[in-house]
Amino acid sequence: VSWSEPILHVDMDAFFVEVERLERPDLAGRPVVVGGPGPRGVVASAGYEARRLGIHSAMPMSSALRRCPDLVVIPPRHDVYRAVSIRIFEVFRSFTPLVEGLSLDEAFLDVSGLQRHHPSSVEVARRVKASIRDETGLAASVGVASTKFVAKLASESAKPDGLVLVRREEVASFLHPLPVSALWGVGEATRAGLARLGVETVGDLAALPEPALARAVGPTLARHLQELAAGIDPRPVVPDAEARSVSIEETFDVDVDSDDRLRIVLRGQADRVAVRLRSAGITGATVVLKVRYPDFTTVTRSSTPGRRIASGMDVYRAAVALLERLDRQGRAIRLLGIGVSGLEPADRPRQLALDGRDRWHDLERSVDEVRARYGGATVIPARLAGSPNDPPGPSDSG
């Protein structure tokens, strides 16, 4: 059990139906669908009892009712599902900001940054499942794999309420028995074309020489499909807009115009942002400074230093340079904030390097550990422990 399978695909089981059941204990054990009840209605979500009767989503409601006259049909309440979805995504983001939502109830998570906090990616998956259960009362299925594509198929095979790990070395044996339509990019036309070549399963496709496949589906799709059949899928988890940055801001009780005071605030904010980056095992590319003036005009300035941003000192240096370049024309500041974007998982455990940046990173990491053990206020940068009138010096790279 290790970290070579860091991608999770989390998918809620029969999401709309199970959300309805939370408020309707009378529905326990009964076949239930959510969908439009009218003559043109379509099943939007089918509970497991209904699925056992052959009812599935996208089926016309009239066919579903023909199969099961006792079917309970609930009109969709999208506002309610959206509210539950927000709580589920909050659970995901409490583990990592590298969350890519696919729909209200489904997301990829890249948990490779959590190696310092959990024994394995499977253990993270278990905790994500348990947290969703605690938070919402609902069951999720989770696939754990080295790629997005395999993780998604793994969660499918985990349903309902399961967790499936597909180890890197088991990818071929997991994929080969599946029908070719399991491969992303195989629609009905492609499936029919492949069937004419005698290709029914992913294994059949993997065994087909690439020129033969290329004649059937064209060279681009042929290469793509053979890579997928071999478990190759380089697509990274691309975080959603809300998760693309880690940021902190503060509105002052009294507008601030002292540069020294602003630097002290920035230093504290930079440290808090860096703690959040480190606890998710990620680094950033860009530092964003946000300033709001007393007349509520707001400006943001950003800087991309060209190397990964990991420590509070990295964040602080970039932010303070942005603040100094800002043409304030003597105006006081009402709100000050820092964000870090361009997030990516930090690389494999860092080598202890001797340049200043890595030493800061390591030092701050140990500070995080002390904080975690003894509470927030135990260790703060010496500069903040002093009087607010002590300006931060320019040379603190250590």
Q: Which two tokens stand for residue 334?
A: 């009402």
**Are β-strands 72-74 and 32-35 bridged in parallel, bridged antiparallel, or unpaired?**
parallel
CB of residue 10 to Mg ion, shortest distance in Å: 9
Distance between CA atoms of 396 and 313, rounded to whole angstroms? 9
Q: Residues with Cβ < 8 Å from 276, sequence gap 6 or more?
A: 246
CB of residue 140 to Mg ion, shortest distance in Å: 8
CB of residue 14 to Mg ion, shortest distance in Å: 7
Q: Which two tokens stand for residue 293?
A: 């003036």
CB of residue 11 to Mg ion, shortest distance in Å: 4
Q: Is residue 22 within 8 Å of 160, Cβ to Cβ?
A: no
Q: Is residue 150 within 8 Å of 231, Cβ to Cβ?
A: yes
Per-residue mark of binding to Mg ion, 169-188 (x: CB under 5 A) = --------------------
Cβ proximity to Mg ion: between 148 and 290 the closer is: 148
Q: Is 353 exposed, middle or buried (0-12, 13-18, 19+ CB in 10 A)?
A: exposed
Q: Is residue 122 within 8 Å of 1, Cβ to Cβ?
A: yes
Cβ proximity to Mg ion: between 107 and 319 the closer is: 107
Burial 214-248 (b: 16+ CB within 10 A, else e): bebbeeebbebbbebbebebeeebebbeebbbbbb
Q: Which two tokens stand for residue 184?
A: 């992303």
Active site residues: 106
Q: Is 12 in the site for Mg ion (CB under 5 A)?
A: yes
CB of residue 293 to Mg ion, shortest distance in Å: 46
How many chain residues bind Mg ion (CB under 5 A)? 4
CB of residue 105 to Mg ion, shortest distance in Å: 4
Q: Is 256 in the site for Mg ion (CB under 5 A)?
A: no
Q: Which of residues 70-109 bind Mg ion (CB under 5 A)?
A: 105
- C-alpha distances in Å from residue 123, one per residue of 81, 129, 130, 217, 309: 27, 10, 11, 40, 28
Cβ proximity to Mg ion: between 102 and 380 the closer is: 102
Cis omega (within 30 of 0) on the bond before 160? yes
Cβ proximity to Mg ion: between 140 and 208 the closer is: 140
Cβ proximity to Mg ion: between 15 and 149 the closer is: 15
CB of residue 84 to Mg ion, shortest distance in Å: 12
Q: Is 18 in the site for Mg ion (CB under 5 A)?
A: no
Distance between CA atoms of 20 and 39, rounded to whole angstroms? 22
Distance between CA atoms of 233 and 2, rounded to whole angstroms? 20
Cβ proximity to Mg ion: between 137 and 211 the closer is: 137
Cβ proximity to Mg ion: between 154 and 322 the closer is: 154
Scanning 8-16, 153-161, 295-303, 342-350 for contacts with Mg ion by CB under 5 A, the matching segment is 8-16
Which of 9, 10, 11, 61 is in the footprint of Mg ion by CB under 5 A?
11
Work out the angle at residue 244's Cα, subtended by the Cα atoms of residues 240 and 263, and round it to the nearest 5 degrees. 160
Residue position matching structure tokens 């899928």: 233
Scanning 6-14, 85-93, 293-301, 313-321 for contacts with Mg ion by CB under 5 A, the matching segment is 6-14
Per-residue mark of binding to Mg ion, 104-123 (x: CB under 5 A) = -x------------------
Work out the angle at residue 277's Cα, subtended by the Cα atoms of residues 271 and 279, and round it to the nearest 5 degrees. 100
Scanning 5-13, 209-217, 304-312, 316-324 for contacts with Mg ion by CB under 5 A, the matching segment is 5-13
Binding region for Mg ion (CB under 5 A): 11-12, 15, 105
